[in-house]
Structure 1
Amino acid sequence: MSKIKKIGAFLFLPLLFMIVLSGCKGESVANKNIAKRIKNEPTIVWGVKYDTRLFGMMDIKTRKVEGFDIDIAKAITKEILGKKGKAEFIEVTSKTRIPLLKNGNIDTIIATMTITDERKEQVDFSDIYFDAGQSLLVKKGSPIKNVKSLTANDTVLAVKGSTSSINIRKNAPDAKILELENYAEAFTALQSGQGQAMTTDNAILLGMASENNKYELAGGTFTNEPYGIAINKGQEDFLKEVNNALSKMHDNGTYDKIFEKWFPKDAEGRAKKGAQF
Structure 2
Amino acid sequence: MKTLSRRANGPIAAVIAAAGALVLSACTSVTYAETPLPPPPVSSSTTPASPATPVECDNPTQSYDPLPSIPSSGDITDESVRRILDRGHLVVGVSADTFLFGARDPLTNRIEGFDIDLAKAVAKSLFGSESKLQLRVITAADRIPLLEKREVDMVARNMTMNCDRWTKVGFSTEYYHSGQKLLVATDPSGKVPNTRIEDLQGKRVCAPRATSTLEKLNTVTGVEPVPAADHTGCLVLFQQGKADAITGDDIVLAGLAAQDPYTVVTSAPAITDEPYGLAFNKEDVYLTRYVNRILADLKADGGWKAIYNRWLAEPLGPAPAPPAGVHGRGT
Correspondence 1:1-277 to 2 at 5 A: 33-83=79-129, 86-141=132-187, 145-151=195-201, 153-170=202-219, 172-218=220-266, 219-264=268-313, 269-272=317-320
Q: Distance in 2 between matches of 1:273 and 1:167?
A: 28
Deviation at 1:141, TM superposition (A): 4.3
Deviation at 1:135, TM superposition (A): 0.4
Matching residue's letter, 1:154: K
Deviation at 1:44, TM superposition (A): 1.3
Q: Distance in 1 between matches of 2:296 and 2:319?
A: 20
Identity %: 29
Count of residue pairs the alignment pairs up: 246
What SS does structure 2 have at the residue aligned with 1:200?
strand
Deviates more, 1:224-233 or 1:31-40: 31-40
What SS does structure 2 have at the residue aligned with 1:45?
strand
Q: Distance in 1 between matches of 2:322 and 2:204?
A: 27
Normalised by the length of structure 1, the TM-score is: 0.79
Which protein has the bigger helix share? 1
CA-based RMSD of the aligned residues comes to 2.8
On the 8 A contact 1:76/1:246 being kept in 2, the answer is no
Deviation at 1:273, TM superposition (A): 5.1
Deviation at 1:202, TM superposition (A): 0.7
Give runs of ≥4 in structure 1 deviating > 6 Å. Answer: 27-32
What SS does structure 1 have at the residue aligned with 2:272?
coil
- Larger relative CO (CA 8 A, sep 6+): 1 or 2? 2
Call closer, same or farther: CA 1:269–1:83 in 2, change over 3 Å: closer
Deviation at 1:64, TM superposition (A): 0.9
Call closer, same or farther: CA 1:85–1:71 in 2, change over 3 Å: same
Matching residue's letter, 1:136: L
Deviation at 1:216, TM superposition (A): 1.0
What's 1:18 paired with?
A: none
Q: Distance in 1 between matches of 2:227 and 2:143?
A: 18
What's 2:73 paired with?
A: none
Encode CA deviations 1:13-69: one digit per residue, 9 max, x unaligned: xxxxxxxxxxxxxx8998995322112223111111111111111112221101111
Q: Distance in 2 between matches of 1:57 and 1:139?
A: 23
